[in-house]
Amino acid sequence: MAEAWSLAVRVYWEDTDAGGIVYHAAYLQFMERARTEWLRARGVDQVELRASARVQFAVVDMQIDWLRPARFDDLLTVTATLAKSGGASGTFRQEVRRLNEVLVQATVRVAALDADTLKPCRLPAAFVE
Amino acid sequence: MAEAWSLAVRVYWEDTDAGGIVYHAAYLQFMERARTEWLRARGVDQVELRASARVQFAVVDMQIDWLRPARFDDLLTVTATLAKSGGASGTFRQEVRRLNEVLVQATVRVAALDADTLKPCRLPAAFVE
Amino acid sequence: MAEAWSLAVRVYWEDTDAGGIVYHAAYLQFMERARTEWLRARGVDQVELRASARVQFAVVDMQIDWLRPARFDDLLTVTATLAKSGGASGTFRQEVRRLNEVLVQATVRVAALDADTLKPCRLPAAFVE
Amino acid sequence: MAEAWSLAVRVYWEDTDAGGIVYHAAYLQFMERARTEWLRARGVDQVELRASARVQFAVVDMQIDWLRPARFDDLLTVTATLAKSGGASGTFRQEVRRLNEVLVQATVRVAALDADTLKPCRLPAAFVE
């Protein structure tokens, strides 16, 4: 289960705010991009999954710590590690780093939903080992 | 056809960037909020329209001038005036103002699309007088 | 300390994603809008505070549960209640509701930062009773 | 002057809306990312430029056509070509493509601003040949 995945993310103007640093909610976007690439690396095509199996994902809860600010033009590394998985939801440990500095840490629980009813359903096999 | 509509929009942190001013693309969101309220004021419920008539809207082209910057916490007025309308598309004149100062001016063409095929279709009656 | 504040927020297209529901990070924006209005209601002008006292705010941690999805055109109520406050940080309890239904619940800790050094500093008096 | 630059951009959930396609304002973000990388490729470090020469950039006008929709998970190519440049502003021709299909076309004028006064100033040498 302890498989790590990381994605490089560049900070653009759209990610910053007038406080001069990256807007706090932008990190949730960065972390979702990393989970999307994690899924792709494990062979999950979300478009195909939704079209054929009518399964989509939703974030259900998150504990997040913003430790240090990122700034415009920073090159960040965003990790995703599946920490726990079972039934209808999986829990990721994620970090956003700049070189060796940890900027943001989060624990993110993601559920599989039936795309028609938005009710929980079984996670695809990619989440289970 | 020269019916004006205006919506008050407050600038929050999410709308700004590290240049200290409102991010240029945020004005497109403000202008779409004003068009949404313009539609509502003319009795168009977009959710109902999509569910029953399978019609949704898409912006097809825009000419936009950013004249002066807005800043965090500014209270803006966003106008929408239907300038032209016919067949499958309507053209709005829109402005974003702070008191009497015009900050942004745009001409925005919006088309009606069949929600299933994304092909152009006839505009709803609210656009036609 | 148990003072509640609520802000009405309309869901626009910009807040939704192709899953058909409100994008999970958009709720963080809604909750920050409510905290901004809470500050305003207590007489804090963030622009003035930053210019004169060189104080700005940053979200430092959050626990958030997305319970039920909001959709395009929903009219939401976003609350902010200061639950705890001391020294350099204050903790808010926040909810996003649609009528009587709770859609999102969060505990959000906000710190005061020196705008020049981004180091923690004393919270303004509005946070202390 | 006719130097082309292109950047690969992946579409994530954050870029889409409940219409099932990429939100129209998201393309402005994609195009700005490409201009940022165009600047970097020509040796312009925007952070350094702002700190040392007090110069920042602002988009002043744009003509944009949304021709075909992009969708979640599409891999797009975003181009930036400097079409004209002189004094305080430069004009880019930009396209967003999916393979050989042109989805969005825009003409974007960008000005150099004094970071303190936000008044127009001379473009950096990277814009002039």
**What is the set of domains in chain D, with CATH numbers?**
4-127 (3.10.129.10)
pTM, rounded to two decimals: 0.96
Q: Are strands D89-98 and D4-10 parallel, antiparallel or unpaired?
A: unpaired
**How much is the pLDDT for D127?**
84
Q: Which residue from C minimizes the CA distance to B73? A: C47
**How much is the pLDDT for C1?**
44
| D45 classed as catalytic | no
On average, the pLDDT of chain C sits at: 94
Residues of chain A contacting D21 with CB distance shorter than 8 Å? none
pLDDT (tens place) for every residue of chain A, 129 residues total = 445 789 999 999 999 999 999 999 999 999 999 999 999 999 999 999 999 999 999 999 999 999 999 999 999 999 999 999 988 999 999 999 999 999 999 999 999 999 999 899 999 888 876
C120 DSSP assignment? B
Residue D109 has pLDDT above 60, yes or no: yes
What pLDDT, in 10s, does the model give residues C93-123?
999 999 999 999 999 999 999 999 989 999 9
D66 DSSP assignment? E
Q: How far is D20 from chain C (nearest CA, A)?
A: 4
Residue D2 has pLDDT above 60, yes or no: no
Give me the mean pLDDT over the C60-76 stretch.
Answer: 97
Smallest Cβ–Cβ distance between C58 and the set A32, A61, A66 belongs to A66
- Of the pLDDT bands very low, low, confident and very high (cuts 50, 70, 90), residue C128 is confident
Task: Kindly provide the ipTM of the predicted complex, given to two decimals.
Answer: 0.95
Smallest Cβ–Cβ distance between D24 and the set B24, B28, B118 belongs to B28
Give me the mean pLDDT over the C38-56 stretch.
Answer: 94
Tell me if C63 sits within 8 A of A63, measured CB to CB. yes
What pLDDT, in 10s, does the model give residues B71-96?
999 999 999 999 999 889 999 999 99
What pLDDT, in 10s, does the model give residues C82-92?
999 988 999 99
Tell me if A123 sits within 8 A of A110, measured CB to CB. no
Residues of chain C contacting A25 with CB distance shorter than 8 Å? 25-26, 28-29, 32
Q: Which residues touch C97 (CB under 8 Å, ≥6 apart)?
A: C76, C77, C78, C79, C103
User: DSSP strand E in B19-99: where?
Assistant: 55-66, 75-86, 89-98
- Supply C93's token pair: 């309890």
Long-range contacts from A105-108, C-beta under 8 angstroms, 24+ separation: A105/A64, A105/A65, A105/A67, A106/A27, A106/A31, A106/A62, A106/A63, A106/A64, A106/A65, A107/A62, A107/A63, A107/A64, A107/A83, A108/A31, A108/A35, A108/A59, A108/A61, A108/A62
Q: Which of B61, B120, B56 shows the shortest CA–CA distance to B86? A: B120
Task: Map chain A to HEC letters.
Answer: CCCEEEEEEECCHHHECCCCCECCCHHHHHHHHHHHHHHHHCCCCHHHHHHHHCEEEEEEEEEEEECCCCCCCCEEEEEEEEEEEECCEEEEEEEEEECCEEEEEEEEEEEEEECCCCCECCCCHHHCC
